[in-house]
Structure 1
């Protein structure tokens, strides 16, 4: 798997998401400011609700822009076996049932699933519980995460 190709796919997907959010922001702003939506009484809240929605969309657009900036600055490095798993690693984990999953550890804001050839790759942040648990691990190490009362254990099969 090519890390730089995965990085470009993340940036492409974030750009698509930003276009959608900006379109939703424009529509919410137009609804909030349209003359037909001026409140005539205290129960007429369509304009106010649209303004709240526009504010939320603006925050989401800014979060996507920040994620894009982080991903543009990100330079995945080759795996260094002396340091273990670090940001930029491609990791293959296997669970107790023998189910494998491929992960690409990247900066914040890129949590998504991508295809690399025919292989499904989950992009996760080092801030995600599984991302934090993998940092510093080596091939053959166990990775344990807990979500509420549920505990999951994985083995690191391969790191690139």
Structure 2
């Protein structure tokens, strides 16, 4: 499978997140430095709170930029059908016949979901509970995911 469109979709989602985060940081910075945010007593902390928020949002924006740089250079190899799941593997899990969910084992950016070729693909990291279960497994392996009625078994049906 050519994973170039998948890489583009991930970078596009990260870029959209970066745009939102950058705008939010700029708005919080403006709020922190606005004349109306100046404290008139030691109990008024609005400006200080806005400054903390702006700093945190700017830090998150830098982390997203680092993720974009990583995804631009990350090799996304093809995996043999009998291969072992590792970073870059696109994995299909089947919970019941006809119900397949797709995951990409990624070094970071876990939790992002992108659509590609009619599939909804969720990024997971090896540090996540599911990522720990999948890493090093092969087709046919069974992993458990939490569900409304307790842990649900899912079988690895495809690795790309």
- Pairwise TM-score range, normalised by the shorter structure: 0.7 to 0.9
Q: How many residues align?
A: 158
The reply on whether 1:155 has 2:155 as its aligned counterpart is: yes
The reply on whether 1:53 has 2:56 as its aligned counterpart is: no
For structure 1, the 5+ residue unaligned runs are none
1:80 positional shift: 3.7
Counterparts of 1:113-128 in structure 2, within 5 Å, are 113-128=113-128
Q: Give runs of ≥4 in structure 1 deviating > 4 Å.
A: none
> How many angstroms apart in 2 are the aligned matches of 1:100 and 1:81?
17
Helix, strand or coil at the partner of 2:113: strand
> How many angstroms apart in 2 are the aligned matches of 1:2 and 1:77?
9
Query: In structure 2, what is the equivalent of residue 24 of structure 1?
Result: 24
Deviations 1:13-36 (A, max 9, x none): 111111111111111111111122
Helix, strand or coil at the partner of 1:9: helix
1:49 positional shift: 1.2
If the length of structure 2 is used for normalisation, what is the TM-score?
Answer: 0.87
In angstroms, what is the RMSD of aligned CA positions?
2.1
Deviations 1:72-91 (A, max 9, x none): 22111110456511111111
1:145 positional shift: 5.2
Deviations 1:101-122 (A, max 9, x none): 1112222025311111222221
For structure 2, the 5+ residue unaligned runs are none
Query: In structure 1, what is the equivalent of residue 15 of structure 2?
Result: 15
Deviations 1:110-138 (A, max 9, x none): 53111112222212222221112111111
Counterparts of 1:1-160 in structure 2, within 5 Å, are 2-80=2-80, 83-95=83-95, 99-144=99-144, 150-160=150-160
Conserved? CA contact 2:81–2:158, under 8 Å = no
> How many angstroms apart in 2 are the aligned matches of 1:151 and 1:119?
24
